[in-house]
Structure 1
Amino acid sequence: MVTGHAAEAGRAWAAAAAVLDPEVPVLTIDDLGVLRAVTVTDSGVEVVLTPTYSGCPAMDAIREDVVRALAAEGFGDVRVSLALAPAWTTDWISDHGRAALRHYGIAPPPGTGPVRLTLGVKCPHCDSLKTHEVSHFGSTACKALFVCDACGEPFDHFKAL
């Protein structure tokens, strides 16, 4: 959501939206759905972020990167706040973000819409559904570690939340 002085708010949103997730640097915080609102007022810019889960260690780095990105665009007083409600969900990951995850070697979560029965997690390397979970926690707490039984490659899978 972009609010405030229209032209400036759009420019501020674009600057914040381009910030990369430090844990998955092929995703912007906009693609990840973490960027929730940007408001420009006479007194500065307010940015609202929703962490992928409470206690996410990447939020401090993201906050600093957002402030830096907006400062580079000439915005002075930047305030970044966290909104825990509504809770982040993998439904907020954009289609572009899902494609970027797959290309990066991370199996994206199922898409939005009705809950679908998932018989397997598709390997991002060979598209096989013959995979299995090795650890419920992968390289970060929001991912699980899987191995493909077809090609033998390990990969992270974003947990559906």
Structure 2
Amino acid sequence: MTTVRTDLADIAGAVPDPELRVVTIGELGIVRGAETAEDGRVVVTITPTYSGCPAMDAIRDDIRSALAGAGFADVEVRTVLSPAWSTDMITESGWAALERTGIAAPGASGTPTCPRCAHQGQPTPVLQISRYASTPCQSLWSCRSCLEPFNAIKKL
């Protein structure tokens, strides 16, 4: 029998995302759970933001390091792809942290609001420049109101 441990999930969840250092993997909704197996091993379950996420090895290593620092030497990190991760899993504090650094939410229609000026009433407020930005889970946009470029998390 295994025992689900919220303290373990909290430790793992406090790990900063290696690509978006302003937000934790817990705030992104990547950590699905943590438990102690019968043999005493800690098992943390995570889901990538998308199946080809290049940061997953770093995330697994950082989770192991964080738990080792808290006294848990034997840690297994399991990756599950189902149910798939979605932007709905990002917490309110996660969105706030992203927006403070100029990374926008995708918006209900998939079109973001400029995190700098909120469009200031422009009828065609933003233009997508590239489907990909500094990380594959982001796209690059330009605001037609303030003329600043910004990244937005892709709606998944």
Q: Partners in 1 of 2:69 and 2:112 — Cα distance?
A: 40
Paired residue for 2:154, among 145, 152, 159?
159
Give unpaired runs (5+ residues) of structure 1.
111-115
Between the two proteins, the alignment pairs up a number of residues equal to 150
1:40 corresponds in structure 2 to 36
Paired residue for 1:122, among 113, 129, 135?
113
User: Which of 128-137 and 138-147 deviates more?
Assistant: 128-137
Q: Partners in 2 of 1:135 and 1:150 — Cα distance?
A: 18
Q: Could you tell me how far 1:117 is from its partner in structure 2?
A: 4.1
1:147 corresponds in structure 2 to 142
Task: For 1:68, give the aligned amino acid.
Answer: S
The answer to whether 1:15 aligns with 2:11 is yes
Paired residue for 1:30, among 9, 26, 34?
26
Q: TM-score, normalised by structure 1?
A: 0.88
The one-character-per-residue Cα deviations of 1:55-89 (angstroms, maximum 9, x if unpaired) are: 10000000000000000000121000100011111
The one-character-per-residue Cα deviations of 1:36-72 (angstroms, maximum 9, x if unpaired) are: 0101234210001100111100000000000000000
2:127 corresponds in structure 1 to 132
| Pairing of 1:28-107 with structure 2 (within 5 A) | 28-41=24-37, 42-107=39-104
Q: Partners in 2 of 1:94 and 1:117 — Cα distance?
A: 19
SS in 2 for 1:71: helix
Q: Could you tell me how far 1:152 is from its partner in structure 2?
A: 1.3
SS in 2 for 1:133: strand
Task: For 2:95, give the aligned amino acid.
Answer: R
Runs (4+) of structure 1 moved beyond 2 Å?
none
Give unpaired runs (5+ residues) of structure 2.
none
Q: Could you tell me how far 1:109 is from its partner in structure 2?
A: 2.5
Q: Partners in 2 of 1:117 and 1:125 — Cα distance?
A: 19
State the percentage of identical aligned residues: 46
Q: Partners in 2 of 1:117 and 1:20 — Cα distance?
A: 28
Q: Could you tell me how far 1:10 is from its partner in structure 2?
A: 2.9
The answer to whether 1:108 aligns with 2:99 is no
RMSD over aligned Cα atoms = 1.5
